[in-house]
Structure 1
Amino acid sequence: MHGDCAYPFDAILTKDDYAQYEKRYPLFREVLKGDLISKSFLFIGFSFDDPNLEHILNQIRMVLNENIRTHYCFMKKVCKEENKSDEEFNNARIKQDIRETELKRFGIQTIFVDEYSEITAILLELEKAVFANNVFISGSAHSYKNGWDEKKAKEFAFKLSNKLVANGFRVVSGYGLGIGSSVINGALTEIRRKKYKHLEEHLGLHPFPRDIEDEKEREKVWDIYRKEILKEIGIVVFIFGNKSDENGEITIADGCMKEFDIAKDQDSIIIPVGSTGGAAEEIYHKLVRNIEKYSYLEEYQDILLNSKDIDDLVQTVLIIAEKARKVL
């Protein structure tokens, strides 16, 4: 907002720079104002002495009154130092209390830390909580059996995605064969119904690049791509997961198994709907054999393995995901 070290002559430093700011950068302030209204900010290393931000926050407060969005900031708690008198310590503490009260007027909650090093640990926990909101639906379906047909499979994928978005999760899809479009349509239907403005906040689309002719190169690119997609995913749901090989035989989708390995290595919450068969069933049995580690599945083993009821399965996935989100 106020410059970049790569362009020092454009930095906003003097009182005149601040006075001319609205004239020189009118759109920046409007965009920032919009983000402060629609998103939650976490301020790190910010003194709040900036007149630009104070002006924007005042404008928002005047318009929205008590309906302002909640933001957060880190602040080191005033502590008694050996070379400071009791009077100096008390004055500093009073000044900090006043600053905290002022920030509350703008909807900014202060998070006090004893040492700045604590911020790193807090950010790591925050990252886990954010990632727990991201659900990747892994699966592909070339054939259907054991009580599943194409229509029912697509309805399941649609409802699963739809209900996850309705419950505040962000659905991420790699556009898997046979179910990808249903996953996307389910999410989009809920997004349109609620008229969310920020599509990317509720749906992430990552179709795999298919124009690589060399098979080894394609697999190498896809492996890198999978890791990039899954690195910010807290929950992975596996459904179906079968494909047709070069001989026309139906086999386990190795792509789903690779995504399982990635999810397992990064300790994501893994929810395999084993009753859909394919990779999902194989993953289910792998996890059940180590149920102590994946104890969140224990109560729902029978439903995940045997149920073909779409609503029961969707509800079960939602319950597990909600519990995981609270824990993470």
Structure 2
Amino acid sequence: MEPTIFNKLVNRLQSGELAFYIGAGFSVPCKLVDWNGLIEPLISPLNLKLKKDKDGNYIGNEDLIQFAQFVANQPEGRKKINEAIREGFSKGVISDNQKELAKLDVSEIWTTNYDPMIENALRENKKEPCVIVNNKDLLEKEKKGAIPIYKVHGDYCDPENCVITSSDYEDFFENKKNFIYALKTALIRKTFIFAGFSFKDPDVKYILAELRHSLTKDNMPEHFWIICTQDKKDREVEYELFKEDLKKNYNITSIEINDFKEIPQLLRDLSKYAKRNRIFISGSYCREIDESDDDYKKRTNDIDSFISDLTSSLVGKENQIVSGYGLGVGSAVITACLRTAYEKYSASSSSKYLIMHPFPRNIANMAEKERLWKSYREEMCDESGIQIVLFGRKINEKKEVVNADGVKKEFDIAHQKGLFIIPIGSTGGMTNVIWNEICKEMEEFGYNSDFLKTKLKKLGELDYVKNKAELVDCVLEIVNDVQSYKG
């Protein structure tokens, strides 16, 4: 995908302005019945047949909606269609398409599919779906935090009201007036990605045409369509003309992929880069000597000053901070984050820029404590796209100052989950160990350009006291570089 388009989609996702319109192709890997498989046994008694190639694959069946109407016209025909829908879409497996879609922080999802795979995937991902099927559902207040799924053509649980026959399509605009208004509004306010969708459904094309008539060409919002280049085999001229039509008349830009199996990776990449404005600051430092010691006070002041300047600079660039309130680090991080958000943005924006996961303390059972802390670390990494590691010292049971194993655990989880890790090696402790490890395997950790490799080395050389400003700038330059997709 072109970097310009990809970064535009990432920005929309980060701002809550990205929505999806999902078609039947998205559910193909779910092992559900497809339109051909649904209609064929119903039309057999009518002496109708679907076109197939010599290998038995369905080809060019453009009359499925009309065939469904022929079935519905027969005695108890609609009942047979309803039974086929209920049976055909009640089973199946959640595919990687739905799993990766569920991980994205999308504002809303629209679909013409009857099946429940998207909402099931959201529940598996500990998210609550708000399924909207009819006009009545639109009037109900959405639960806070729930992700709305608009099922444009109905749900398999209520097959009588599923849009499948030609008369259903004809009645669609009368029966779903509020639905259509909501979709028009969303198409103006949001940026849509159409996936698994062919634009052969007459209702969506009609709605897009109405938008074109009501808006000027310059005001038509931009949307995107994922299309597989395999589809243009033997139809290259038609394929290019159709792409041109979508762009010229509806401002829909095509995103070409070689195979529909690439969709999960595309969604993973979107999620990875969209999370890179959420930065998990991991680290700890301890009270190595008596608090009354003047050297101790100066050292802690220097540490707090560095953490504060770094955090303020990150928030000043509109990054969100994720914190587990690490020992000796958390207070400086949180104070700087809240202060900067308040001063630069607004009093109400502080919650937007700080995501807190304070570790539960005073847990007597060590096994339970480890289980809980591991869960907290995983949640912080799941929410983040970048991890900054600093210091990493603690006092053990023998009152000895040692490297903090908790910081190493957070680093291991972050690496396993694909975060971009920025270790400020010059701060010492476990972070220096991590910095050395990454320096030995730069490519594995994403330091794959001369620019990033040079900056990584500086993270271990610049003193956080004497070269504080330069070190903060070095971190910011790395963050800025890895937040932008380059293809």
Q: Which whole-Å CA distance do the structure 2 matches of 1:189 and 1:298 have between them?
A: 32
Question: How is 1:1-328 mapped onto 2 (pairs within 5 angstroms)?
Answer: 1-2=150-151, 5=155, 7-8=157-158, 13=163, 14=168, 18-19=173-174, 21=176, 29=182, 33=185, 37=189, 40-47=191-198, 50=203, 54=207, 58=211, 62=215, 66=218, 70-77=222-229, 79-81=232-234, 90=237, 93-104=240-251, 108-143=252-287, 149-192=299-342, 193-195=344-346, 202-210=353-361, 212-231=363-382, 233-290=384-441, 296-302=452-458, 304-307=460-463, 308=465, 309-326=467-484
SS at match of 2:334: helix
SS at match of 2:389: strand
Q: State the TM-score, normalized to the length of structure 2.
A: 0.53
RMSD across aligned positions (CA): 4.1
Cα displacement (A) at 1:129: 2.6
Q: 1:2–1:12: 8 Å Cα contact kept in structure 2?
A: no
Cα displacement (A) at 1:44: 1.6
Q: 2:341–2:349: 8 Å Cα contact kept in structure 1?
A: no
Per-residue displacement from partner, 1:2-58 (whole Å, max 9, x unpaired)?
2674642696744656545465898xx39x957963x64433224565559947993
Moved more, 198-207 or 108-117: 198-207
SS at match of 1:210: coil
Per-residue displacement from partner, 1:168-214 (whole Å, max 9, x unpaired)?
43332222123223323433444442359887764432222336431
SS at match of 2:387: strand
Q: State the TM-score, normalized to the length of structure 1.
A: 0.74
In structure 2, do the counterparts of structure 1 residues 114 and 285 end up closer, same or farther at CA, with 3 Å as the change threshold?
closer
In structure 2, do the counterparts of structure 1 residues 102 and 269 end up closer, same or farther at CA, with 3 Å as the change threshold?
same
Q: Which whole-Å CA distance do the structure 2 matches of 1:277 and 1:268 have between them?
A: 21
Aligned to 2:64: none
Q: 1:274–1:281: 8 Å Cα contact kept in structure 2?
A: yes
In structure 2, do the counterparts of structure 1 residues 190 and 56 end up closer, same or farther at CA, with 3 Å as the change threshold?
farther
Q: Which whole-Å CA distance do the structure 2 matches of 1:156 and 1:42 have between them?
A: 42
Q: 1:72–1:111: 8 Å Cα contact kept in structure 2?
A: yes
**Structure with the greater alpha carbon radius of gyration:** 2
Residues matched between the structures, number: 313
Q: Which whole-Å CA distance do the structure 1 matches of 2:205 and 2:362 have between them?
A: 48
Q: Which whole-Å CA distance do the structure 2 matches of 1:34 and 1:188 have between them?
A: 33
Structure 1 residue runs of 5 or longer lacking an equivalent are: none
User: Residue type matched to 2:355 in 1?
Assistant: G
Q: 1:18–1:52: 8 Å Cα contact kept in structure 2?
A: no
Q: Which whole-Å CA distance do the structure 2 matches of 1:140 and 1:22 have between them?
A: 57
User: Residue type matched to 1:74 in 2?
Assistant: I
Q: 2:243–2:254: 8 Å Cα contact kept in structure 1?
A: no
